[in-house]
Amino acid sequence: MIAAISNAITKSMRHTLIKAALFQAALLFSSLCHADGAQPPYVFGQGLRLGNYYLSGYANIVAEDPFGQPAKLALDDLSVFAGGQVSRWINPFAEIELAKHTLLKQGGKPGHGNIVVERLYDDALLSDRDTMRFGKTLTAFGDWNTVFASPLVPTIVRPNTTALGFEAYESGVTWMHDLQDNETPDFQIYWQPDYEWFERLPRETRRHFQDVYGAHVNKSIGLIDKIGASIQHGELTETGEHYTVYGFNVIQSFGNLLLESEALTSRFYGRALPWASPRLHKHESGIFGLADYSITSQWHGIVEWERYQDHLVAMPSRNWLIGINFKPQPYMVWKLEYVRQNGTPSSFSPILTGLNCSFSTLF
């Protein structure tokens, strides 16, 4: 009975998302039909704005051909987010996503995706420089995690360094301090006193965290360039281990060349649960470097290298990637890339050797 109710709710939410997407398409069509030259309430790539409220989102379709495994075409993300500025104390935001919905699969059947609550929070404006956020949000660890939406990041495959070694979705309270003067560092301090709200399924993530707290400080050193540092402490739910992780991130531009890197190192300690995988290393570490060269304003060449050592896996994962991006519009991008993974067996690695292609757009 419970399973039937859960399936019914999931189907209902999936239908709601599809209706929302159709609604967005209808708004786009109506906006194109405006003849008076006035700014329409809906602009493709920027969303719908009605007074102090807004509705927008993004879509990401990915074709994957991992060598030695079935190829597939998937709606990797269909994300809809809405928010508003009601008052100083009430500024809600929500993001609901249909994730990992397989459309076609070589030698197999399509697979239904999962409905995921990515973000759900309220911002209370304490002052011009301080905001208190309550709810579920993206954890401020490094730079990639806070801008991980597919149209905004350079690669289809997300580096392990930006995803595995820390709690990526903080559910609790966050204090954000930002002078927005491009001179004074901004920082965030957060606390998740229990489990993540709306926890992701095992097919969406290998790890879950609890009792998490941490901080991130960031310093802008130009229009695009920045440097930052992070720290986080918590408990890995699957093993019962405690951990402390330190992170570093930097972005530096040189004309048409943009260089980006993130690194982390952590220590896992405490008695693991009896049924947990054995701890093969006390420490976990990762680093990646990425070069993004603007051939033109629309064409970008991408090269990336990464090394990640999981504390539960004997061998480190050594990855490299080469790709090309085409951006017909600032909010829209086509990506084609080849990824090579060595070291960690493919059965344990989130990154697989093969070809990937995607189309992503904000709407």
Query: How confident is the model at residue 206, as a pLDDT?
Result: 83
Query: How confident is the model at residue 275, as a pLDDT?
Result: 85
Beta strand 186-195 with 257-269 is unpaired
Average pLDDT value for residue range 66-78 = 94
Token digits of residue 148: 């991980």
Q: How far apart are CA 150 and CA 233, in angstroms?
A: 28
Looking at residue 264, its amino acid is L
Q: Report the 3 state secondary structure along the chain.
A: CHHHHHHHHHHHHHHHHHHHHHHHHHHHHHHHCCCCCCCCCEECCCEEEECCEEEEEEEEEEEEEECCCCCEEEEEEEEEEEEECCCCCCCEEEEEEEEEEEEEECCCCCCCCEEEEEEEEEEEECCCCEEEEEEEEECCCCCHHHHCCHHHCCCCCCCHHHCCCCCCEEEEEEEEECCCCCCCCEEEEEEEEEECCCCCCCCCCCCCEEEEEEEEEEEECCCCCEEEEEEEEEEECCCCCEEEEEEEEEEEEECCEEEEEEEEEEEEECCCCCCCCCCCCCEEEEEEEEEEEECCCCEEEEEEEEEEECCCCCCCEEEEEEEEEEEEECCEEEEEEEEEEECCCCCCCCCCCEEEEEEEEEC
Query: How confident is the model at residue 202, as a pLDDT?
Result: 76
Average pLDDT value for residue range 122-149 = 95
Place of tokens 């054995």: 278
Query: How confident is the model at residue 184, as a pLDDT?
Result: 85
**Cβ(317)–Cβ(308) under 8 Å?**
yes
Average pLDDT value over all residues in the chain:
89
pLDDT band at 2 (very low <50, low <70, confident <90, very high): very low
Lowest mean pLDDT, pick from 14-28, 108-122, 224-238: 14-28
pLDDT band at 6 (very low <50, low <70, confident <90, very high): very low
pLDDT tens track for 292-332: 999 999 999 999 999 999 999 999 999 999 999 999 999 99
pLDDT band at 201 (very low <50, low <70, confident <90, very high): confident
Token digits of residue 145: 């995690």
Whether pLDDT at 277 is above 90 = no
Average pLDDT value for residue range 280-297 = 96
Q: Please give the C-alpha separations between residue 148 and each of 13, 58, 138, 321, in angstroms, as whole numbers.
A: 23, 12, 9, 18
Instruction: For the chain, give the percent of residues with pLDDT over 90.
Output: 76
Supply the pTM of this predicted model.
0.84
pLDDT tens track for 73-105: 999 999 999 999 999 999 999 999 999 999 999
Q: How far apart are CA 340 and CA 337, in angstroms?
A: 10
Whether pLDDT at 5 is above 60 = no
Burial of 68 (0-12, 13-18, 19+ CB in 10 A): exposed
**Cβ(261)–Cβ(288) under 8 Å?**
yes
Q: What angle do CA 302, 305, 311 make, to 5 degrees?
A: 140
Lowest mean pLDDT, pick from 176-185, 221-230, 256-265: 176-185
Query: How confident is the model at residue 110, as a pLDDT?
Result: 81
Query: How confident is the model at residue 203, as a pLDDT?
Result: 73
Query: How confident is the model at residue 255, as a pLDDT?
Result: 94
* CATH superfamily, domain at 55-362: Porin (2.40.160.10)
The domain locations on the chain are 55-362
**Cβ(260)–Cβ(270) under 8 Å?**
no
Whether pLDDT at 31 is above 70 = no
Average pLDDT value for residue range 43-69 = 94
Query: How confident is the model at residue 10, as a pLDDT?
Result: 39
Query: How confident is the model at residue 34, as a pLDDT?
Result: 42
Whether pLDDT at 63 is above 80 = yes
Instruction: For the chain, give the percent of residues with pLDDT over 70.
Output: 89
Place of tokens 């239908």: 15
For residue 72, the Cα-to-chain-centroid distance in whole angstroms is 21
Query: How confident is the model at residue 67, as a pLDDT?
Result: 94
Average pLDDT value for residue range 139-159 = 95
Q: What angle do CA 245, 154, 197 make, to 5 degrees?
A: 45
Whether pLDDT at 15 is above 60 = no
Query: How confident is the model at residue 80, as a pLDDT?
Result: 97
Whether pLDDT at 25 is above 70 = no
Direct distance between the N- and C-terminal alpha carbons of the chain, in angstroms, rounded to an integer: 38
